[in-house]
Amino acid sequence: MFESCFQTFTDDANGAHGAERLSRLREELAQGGLDGFLIPRADEHQNEYTPPSAERLAWLTGFTGSAGMAVVLPTRAALFVDGRYTLQAPAQIDTGAYEPLNSGECTPDSWLEKHVQTGWRIACDPWLHTPAQLARHERAIKAAGGVLVRVDANPLDAIWIDRPAPPAGPIAVHPARYAGEGAQAKIKRIQAALGPADALVLSDPHAVAWAFNIRGSDVAHTPIALCFALVPAQGRPILYADSARLGEPVRAALSFLDIAKPQALLRDLRALGGARKLVRFDAATVPARLVQALEKAGGTSDVGADPTALMKARKNKAELRGAAAAHLRDGAAMVEFLAWFASEAPKGRLTEIKAAEALETFRRATKKLKDISFPTISGMGPNGAIVHYRVTQATDRRITRGLFLIDSGAQYEDGTTDITRTLAVGKPTAEMRDRYTRVLKGHISVATSVFPKGSNGAQIDGFARRALWDVGLDFDHGVGHGVGSYLSVHEGPQRISKLGAVALDPGMILSNEPGYYKTGAYGIRIENLIVVEPCEIKGAERKMLSFETLTLAPMDLSLIEPKLLSREEIAWLNAYHARVRKTLSPLVTPAALKWLRGATKAIRA
């Protein structure tokens, strides 16, 4: 399985064909009377992981990151990426064809306003942009004197002659013992949350999967089916999916809803528009094309928050039991890997790919692994300093003396995992120990935080950075993202970051992953998953919340400088390692158990 992950786009999407494909796209645009085109890294659902048929940005430019956008004009083109990909993007694209830009410093809209000329017609595919995205682009283009043109057919598809077919895998039922709530009960909750709206369009496949208790296999790493659904305020929901994808047992389980062909969604929205209905859409994922269809027919759109997002984020008891079981199983696999790595890495024969393959092998040995939850980030030395590094055959680095960062996760039917460990190969330097310990202090600060109900992730983000800030250091990503229940490893709306505005509620699962990255040298990240839970404090005047750590795996003791830790921090680390040792000891092999005992021994100041 890892072979296919590593090979994806290493031939076609490595920038080698960038100038040629860019030239062909410009010719196609000119034939249609167009002067430019916007190419987001998105499919019709704004998914993080997209099928090969939707990897337009990667095919055109060579950039394979999970977020970005290219803007093509007659004589210049730019690729915009966020802070995670400022090192990766220039390494993957033809910089003679595209100018790589940090979207945090120069947005696509500011660039468009500066470079679009009067009268230019800049095209977009309204299936690949949300209404808010198109509104921003249109304002910028209009300010420059141009016009935004919504095209019916994507001009890039016309030149992508070997484009893969869209996925059409089977849809399966997610068992009630894992879901914890029946689909019909969920539908009633959704309908009760619609307010004055006559219907809700579910454009996020994760929401469809959660609401109907179904799963699919249309994209890598996330068990979703790429489909839309319509939930009326009263009556039967509609799932828009090819009937061939639904076997008889699945149809029987979905007898509470109607099934329609995917192309029927536009027809139904036009009908709702003609009846002057009010329809809610998810602002984060709805294609502008769907809103346009409703409004042109006379309907009213309410584009805002999808009410299912918070419902899905608050895990029920069955989902939390599943998460605990998944992390127990995954923790044992991680210990087997870490013990193996400790033995094999000093021999000098390991590479980043071999390490990632080995970790997946240990997870597969559980007999419960459905998929990895994202492409494993396996980075040695300077590759570890690339936050979302993705190893390929071309970049595969031998594991030698220094720091090795491995960020990985698994999809089990009862839960989703995500863990990062940074490992020393050989004796670490004093600087490495200092930086690692400061990251650890931030990790512990989040793990032990207590906060009033109603607090959001932005209020907690700084806890993870204090020890780094003390010496003038920081990191350019959020502290934590939400995690689904056998769904996306990156789930919203909850997150711990400077932009985390959603209140954290009991049952929400998040990551706790502060880091430090020294460009060209090494990267450090420590990540566990945590779950929000009530916190009882005697005499408290407010309802308080705290976190319980789900992830079970040792942290590298050789990288810790005890003198930088407080007594409370040392106590937390020792207690965590004691819990890891006690919980996982019965589940690992004798060789791994011997290593585990040494890896979790108590430390002193």
Tell me the pLDDT tens digit for each residue of 96-149: 999 999 999 999 999 999 999 999 999 999 999 999 999 999 999 999 999 999
Peptide bond into 493 cis (omega under 30): yes
CA separation for the pair 582, 566 (Å, rounded): 24
pLDDT score at 14: 56
The amino acid at 536: E
The tens digit of pLDDT for each residue in 440-469 reads: 999 999 999 999 999 999 999 999 999 999
pLDDT of residue 13 exceeding 60: no
Residue 138: other Cβ atoms inside 10 A: 18
Percent of the chain with pLDDT over 90: 93
Task: Decide: residue 570, CB within 10 A, 0-12 exposed, 13-18 middle, 19+ buried.
Answer: middle
pLDDT score at 88: 84
CA separation for the pair 495, 457 (Å, rounded): 6
pLDDT score at 300: 98
pLDDT of residue 364 exceeding 90: yes
The token duo for 122 is 């800049």
Domains 172-308 and 314-599 share a fold: no
pLDDT band at 4 (very low <50, low <70, confident <90, very high): very low
pLDDT of residue 10 exceeding 50: no
Bridge-partner residues for 523, per DSSP?
517
As separate numbers, helices (DSSP H) first and strands (DSSP E) second, the chain gives 21, 28
pLDDT score at 336: 98
pLDDT band at 1 (very low <50, low <70, confident <90, very high): very low
CA dihedral 485→487→492→497, nearest 10 degrees, is 80
Phi, psi of 264, rounded to the nearest 5 degrees: -75, -15
The tens digit of pLDDT for each residue in 392-442 reads: 898 999 999 999 999 999 999 999 999 999 999 999 999 999 999 999 999
pLDDT of residue 569 exceeding 70: yes
pLDDT score at 9: 34
CA dihedral 417→421→425→427, nearest 10 degrees, is -160
Element spanning 380, H or E: strand 377-380
Residue 556: other Cβ atoms inside 10 A: 19
Angstrom CA distances, 363 to 201, 333, 418, 591, stand at 37, 5, 13, 17
Residues 6+ apart with CB under 8 A from 71: 36, 37, 38, 39, 77, 78, 80, 108, 111, 112
CA separation for the pair 84, 390 (Å, rounded): 12
Across the chain, mean pLDDT equals: 95
Q: What is the CATH number of domain 314-599?
A: 3.90.230.10
| CB-based contact 71:111 (threshold 8 Å) | yes
**Residue whose pair of structure tokens reads 């990897």 in the numeric block:** 55
Fold of 172-308: Creatine Amidinohydrolase; Chain A, domain 1 (3.40.350)
Sequence ranges of the domains in the chain: 2-159, 172-308, 314-599
CA separation for the pair 169, 216 (Å, rounded): 7
Helix (H, G, I), strand (E, B) or coil at 411: strand
Nearest in space to 518 (alpha carbons), one of 335, 408, 381: 381
**Cα radius of gyration (the chain):** 25
Nearest in space to 37 (alpha carbons), one of 97, 94, 78: 78
Q: What is the CATH number of domain 2-159?
A: 3.40.350.10
